[in-house]
Structure 1
Amino acid sequence: MAKSKELTAAKRRRLRELTQGLRGVALFLFMVSGMINVLALTGSVYMMQIYDRALTSGSVPTLLVLSTLAIGLYLFQGCFDVVRSQVLVRVGARIDRKIAPLAHRVAIDMPRFGFSTSEALERGRDVDTVRGFLGSQGPSALFDLPWMPIYLTFIYVLHPMLGALTVAGALVLVVLTVVSEIMTKRLAVNLRKAAIARNGIADCNARNAEVLKAMGFAGRAVGRFNEANGEHLELQTRANDITGSFAAVSRVLRMVLQSALLGLGAYLTIKGELSAGTIIAVSVASARALAPVDLAIGNWKSFIAARMAYHRLRETVVALAAADEPMQLLEPTERLSVDKITVAVPGSGQVVLSEVGFELEAGQALGIIGPSAGGKTTLVRALTGIWPVLRGSVRLDGADLSQWREEEIGKHIGYLPQEIALMDATIQDNICRLEPDPDYRKVIEAAKAAGVHDMIVKMPDGYRTKLGPQGCALSAGQRQRVALARALYGNPFIVVMDEPNSNLDGEGEAALTAAIESIRARGGIAIVIAHRPSALVAVDLVAIVQAGRMVAFGKKHDIMTPVLQPAAATETHESESQMRRPA
């Protein structure tokens, strides 16, 4: 219960930080909008004075005084309008600076929990959506709406019938706004889902461009994208039809209302109840009164998008509030303990690893073997904290991984994934894990430990060589060795390698063996997932994982001998068969 209260307090604190200072800014903008709307009556009053005073008196000085005063008031209105616009732009920039890093942090974590890359990047687009909306005309319309009574009161003072007609027209436009909200809200949700699906297919096609080109099914991939894009376009067309139709109806009704006001004003003037200047004043005031409603309907689609984006960003902030910052711990130096862990695939919830447990001491190296889809890579993801465990625990020197700060635990873990992904940066940046001011000695030491230093210095730009997207400037073997150097950077206590020799030649495998031996020699722990026995030369322990369970664990000789004997017997049998086969 106490932990739940602390979490709720943390969420509230995060939300307060998100909106800190914005209430004062909103109040300021509300008051500025009030000044703008009061000054916007200048046109109506000016027209009344021109028709009813200057023209009837024929006084040029009166005309000059009225015009000078009107110009001054217009300038004040323009200044307030500029201030409001600039404040809104800066509010958007402030929200971007505050939320964009948090949103990107969540975007990095989301793929680990089963979300697509497109869904993850949507958080960044949400920030852009909110910032873009605040820089548009939409917020100005929303701040002007509460000040509509100023114009309605002004028109009502001129004549109650004109005021009643204007109020009726305003109510009709407000009803149109509400109906537009109801009809587009659900459609906006479906449109966003369709956009994510389309962007996901586009991202998948881009990542598999070489395969699509080599095997000639790029056309079918484009067709798949076209189908998703067609669904997105259909929903977008429907949404645009609704908002566009309501915007057109709003504009027509506003023009009809203005004409009706002119007609009614003319009738009242003929009856002697109004002056000619009052008719023009009413027309100008009514146009200004209904303009925010018209503008709001025209920008309603972007308003809904911004509102949905802001709600998702609030959820992002709340989600990060759940991550408690633990106390800093000492560097691990003794052991890795895996206590009967059970792991499920994030998103689907399918259990793929059950009741796996073992313990490794400093200076030991474990080789993990087993059939494909047996759970080896899942075990790696659990050991490195990429996937959470359902039950059990992974501990370093007795402390669960959750008790370590993420930035701190990263210094003590080296990870070489099965699918190598290098950053679009220099070789040095990749090896040092994007440290802003890395120690060049550690960079070179890691490169030498991975056997890649000589290759790097032979390049024209050496360690400053830019790798490009996904490290495309290097071959598969070179990328794997640079990634190995990254895993070894800073001499982490635990180094986990998933199929580290899949793209290596003989020289690379020798460097890999030497790297594992050096990890053990300095008191670290190495864990190697492998199908090829050559990767297990330097390990002293071996575990067999199959069907989501660890079926064997022990000394390499005790585990590997029964595994290798059937293979050796098979090879001998095949050799004898070849010898007996007649020429």
Structure 2
Amino acid sequence: MASVTPSADSAHAMSDRALRRRLLATTPGNRQAVLLTAAATALGAAAVVGQGLALAAALTRAFQGRSVTVAALCCLAAVAVRAAASRIRARVAERAAAATQLRLRTDLLTATARTGPYASRRPAGETATLLTRGVDALDPYLAGYLPQAAVAALVPPAVTVAVLLHDPLSGVVLLVTLPLIPLFGALVGLHTRDATARQWSALARLGGHFLDALRGLGTLRVFGRTAAQEEIVADTAGRHRRATQRTLRITFLSTLVLETAATLSIALIAVPVGLRLLGGSLGLYTALVVLLLVPEAFGPLRALGSRFHAGAEGLAAARAAFAVMDAAEEHGGTVTDLPAPARIDVEHVTVVLPGRSEPVLHDVSFTIRAGERVALTGPSGSGKSTLLALLLGLLTPTEGRVLVDGDDLATVDLEAWRRHLAWVPQRPHLFDRTVAENIRLGRPDACDEAVEQAARAAVAHEFISAMPHGYRTRLGARGAGLSAGQRQRVALSRAFLRDAPLLLLDEPTAGLDADSEQTLLAASARLMRGRTVLLVAHRPALLHGADRHLEVSAGTVRELTLR
């Protein structure tokens, strides 16, 4: 069982009804699926009533010694129609659920790629859990709960009308007792929603801790911290286990409550019917109609109650998914006409990250003029990566603004802005593709000559040529088979090939020795000429050739004089 807690206030405030409407509007075909499901359900409701009436007539005629052929054929026809309607409803719901999950997962991936981890306000482990277990939780909701909700909305009223027409007294009792099932279900549901939210919160933390531990396993082993991390993961897993057990207890208890209520309600109708039948005040056919149809009225509501938890989990998953997509929508603008290169002004920017009380950056202001090469230095954790995230559009300032040639970056279309820049992070990601395909990532239409030229500028051509198949050598996942310095040079080749007017380089020479670093800087100087370059530097060699030197310290930025 997996459910997802909201991660944005707007999504959290959305009512369940509005959330369902938005979820059904995710895929255009859902409207037709709803209409077809409603038609199949209505046909099934009519078949339920017809089956009960035909079976009651057949039993009555058999008891009286009369022919039951016609009544039996009608009963078989009703059973066939009911089965066909149920099959159609299930197939339509399954297809609609699969299409909705695919569309939602695609939109989630797009939103996550657009905003990045900073704007989504959730760790990578939680995002991965949402994309997998979270979206999967929609399957029992869309394919099970919603179709059953349609059955529960149509079958009980149809059965109640039929019972009222044949025995008004039993019909009145049915009208009084039938609402008890959804009433008890709603009361249980108020507690269920909180329990499933706590369960997902524990699962998301477990996923985040486990993913972080896997990523830093090498570092943890070097510093002998694997045992401590094991304890953290074990503690988080224990919390998730306890939350799951609490949710299961609620599920079993709520099912017991609903079954007990339904059984007692049926008994309140069946016992008087039996007594009236023995007393002669009620005919056999009418008694059989009531006894056969009343369980059919409670059956869909009992089934809906048993699937209520799947419904709560599915709605929670949808709420979190839409929260991520809403964050992506709020994170982009409409301005697309941008100069290349552009002047960048950071004005009184303060950034407070989630979970932290102290700002990472406080009242930061500086300017990067078009064509400048600016070196950014400072100790680890001082806010250098946060500044890069601001310029990449992955993070919006808590206060202040970032201007691109006079336009607030919050109003600039992120896709248009990112076409003007190339970024090389500290640990670049390489894909399970050939070396050439990894370099072409930012410019897929580049020719082989351009790829080789970019590799030469990044001092990567020699080691690539020495590989078994040269540029057609297939790399392993995350660049397996290459050293850290070689992965860095492949990423730099990718950035140089992109030919963007703005280069954002986070420790571009990490993993290189001093000689390779000097060779790389000399070879790439020509390609950097005329571009705006902001590079995070820890090594003194990166400061040579820079036009300006900015130092980040304790969340503030000051300009230093280059020696």
- The residue type paired with residue 94 of structure 1 is A
Q: Tell me what 2:4 maps to.
A: none
Q: Does 1:242 align with 2:241?
A: no
Distance in 1, Cα, partners of 2:150 & 2:23? 23
Distance 1:96 1:404 in 2: 30
Residue equivalent to 1:577:
none
Q: Decide whether the 8 Å contact of 1:370 with 1:544 is kept in 2.
A: yes
- 1:287-340 Cα shifts (integer Å, max 9, x gaps): 21111111111111111111222333444454444355524325504x533344
1:410 aligned residue: 418
CA distance in 2, matches of 1:99, 1:366: 41
Equivalent position SS for 1:432: helix
- Among 24, 28, 46, the residue aligned to 2:54: 46
| Map of 1:112 onto structure 2 | 118
> Residue 130 of structure 1 is aligned with which of 124, 138, 142?
138
- In the alignment, what sits opposite 1:75? 80
Whether 2:361 is the aligned partner of 1:352: answer yes
Structure 2 residue 527 is matched with structure 1 residue 527: no
**Which among 192, 200, 206 is matched to residue 214 of structure 2?**
206
Residue of structure 2 aligned with 1:454, choices 462, 465, 469: 462
Q: Does 1:225 align with 2:245?
A: no
Quote how far apart the aligned CAs of 1:415 are.
1.5
Partner SS, residue 423 of structure 2 = strand
CA-CA distance at 1:454 after TM superposition: 2.8
Give SS of 1:326's match. Answer: coil
Deviation (angstroms), 1:112: 1.2
Q: Which sits farther off after the overlay, 242-251 or 259-268?
A: 259-268
Partner of 1:483: 491
* In 2, Cα distance between equivalents of 1:435 and 1:405: 20
1:65 to 53, 64, 70: 70
Per the alignment, in what secondary structure is the counterpart of residue 343 of structure 2? strand
- Residue of structure 1 in register with 2:291 after alignment: 283
* Residues 365 and 516, structure 1, Cα contact 8 Å, conserved in 2: no
Once residues 414 and 281 of structure 1 are traced to their aligned partners in structure 2, the CA distance between those partners, rounded to angstroms, is 75
Counterpart position of 2:3: none
Query: Aligned partners of 2:544 and 2:73: how far apart in 1?
Result: 93
* Deviation for aligned residue 1:200: 1.5
Tell me if 1:101 matches 2:101.
no
TM alignment of 1:261-276, pairs within 5 A: 261-276=269-284
Residue in structure 2 matching 1:536, options 534, 543, 553: 543
CA gap of 1:460–1:384, structure 2 versus 1, over 3 A, is same
One-letter amino acid matched to 1:81: S
Q: Equivalences for 1:84-483 in 2 at 5 Å?
A: 84-108=89-113, 109=115, 111-113=117-119, 114-124=121-131, 125-136=133-144, 138-147=145-154, 148-258=156-266, 261-323=269-331, 325-329=333-337, 332-333=340-341, 335-347=342-354, 348=356, 350-362=359-371, 364-390=372-398, 394-397=402-405, 399-402=407-410, 404-433=412-441, 439-483=447-491
Instruction: Sort the Cα spacing of 1:544 and 1:213 in 2 relative to 1 into closer, same or farther, 3 A.
Output: closer
Distance 2:553 2:328 in 1: 36
Unaligned runs of 5+ in 2: 1-17
> Which deviates more from structure 2 when the two are superposed, residues 315-324 or residues 29-38?
315-324
Match of 2:15 in 1: none
Identity of aligned residues (%): 22
CA offset digits 1:17-41 (Å, max 9, x no partner): 6476755643443333122111012
- Partner Cα separation in structure 2 for residue 31 and residue 314 of structure 1: 29
2:304 counterpart SS class: helix
8 Å CA contact retained: 1:481, 1:508: no
**8 Å CA contact retained: 2:125, 2:210:** no
Match of 2:43 among 35, 60, 63: 35
SS of structure 1 residue aligned to 2:289: helix
Give CA deviations for 1:171-212 in whole Å, capped at 9, x if unaligned: 332332122112212222222222222222112222122234
Distance 1:520 1:270, change over 3 A: closer
Taking the aligned partners of 2:135 and 2:165, their CA distance within structure 1 comes to 45
Cα distance in 1 for residues equivalent to 2:24 and 2:316: 19
2:364 & 2:331 partners in 1: Cα distance? 26
Tell me if the contact between 2:335 and 2:412 (Cα under 8 Å) persists in the aligned partners: yes
Alpha-carbon distance in 2 for matches of 1:540, 1:314: 44
Q: 1:257 to 1:365 in 2, by over 3 A?
A: closer
The worse-fitting range, judged by mean Cα deviation, of 410-419 and 294-303 is 410-419
How far apart, in 1, do the equivalents of 2:390 and 2:333 lie? 20
The answer as to whether partners of 2:340 and 2:420 remain within 8 angstroms in 1 is yes
* TM-score where L is the length of structure 2: 0.85
User: Which structure's relative contact order is higher, taking Cα pairs within 8 Å and 6+ residues apart?
Assistant: 2
- How many angstroms does 1:509 deviate by? 0.9
What are the Cα deviations for residues 273-292 of structure 1, in whole angstroms up to 9, with x where unaligned?
A: 33445444333312211111
Task: Say what the alpha-carbon RMSD is for the aligned residues.
Answer: 3.2
The aligned amino acid for 2:390 is: A
Amino acid at match of 1:145: A
CA distance in 1, matches of 2:405, 2:449: 28
Relative to structure 1, is the Cα distance of residues 84 and 373 closer, same or farther in structure 2, using a 3 angstrom cutoff?
Answer: closer
The match for 1:563 is: none
Q: CA deviation at 1:393?
A: 5.1
Deviation per CA, 1:59-97: give whole Å up to 9, x if none.
Answer: 3xxx33333332223222222222222222232233334
For 2:193 and 2:468, the matched residues in 1 are separated by 56
The superposition leaves residues 403-425 of structure 1 with CA deviations (integer Å, 9 ceiling, x where unpaired) of 54323332321222223333454
Quick one: which amino acid aligns to residue 317 of structure 2? Answer: A
Equivalent position amino acid for 2:359 in 1: Q
User: What SS class does the counterpart of residue 338 from structure 1 fall into?
Assistant: strand
Taking the aligned partners of 2:537 and 2:111, their CA distance within structure 1 comes to 32
Deviates more, 1:286-295 or 1:80-89: 80-89
Which residue identity does 2:538 align to in structure 1? H
Question: Deviations for 1:526-558, whole angstroms, at most 9, x for unmatched residues?
Answer: 33322222233443443344344443345xxxx
Q: 1:429 and 1:274, CA in 2 relative to 1: closer, same or farther beyond 3 A?
A: farther
Name the SS of the counterpart of 1:186 in structure 2: helix
CA–CA separation in structure 2 for the residues paired with 1:479 and 1:295: 56
How many residues get paired?
A: 539
In structure 1, what is the Cα distance between the partners aligned to 2:503 and 2:476?
A: 26
**Greater Cα shift, 40-49 or 298-307:** 40-49
Question: What residue ranges of structure 1 are gaps of 5+ in the alignment?
Answer: 1-10, 561-583
Distance 1:266 1:379, change over 3 A: closer
Q: Distance in 2 between matches of 1:75 and 1:40?
A: 11
Q: 1:440 to 1:276 in 2, by over 3 A?
A: farther
| Cα 1:382–1:512 shift into 2, 3 Å | farther
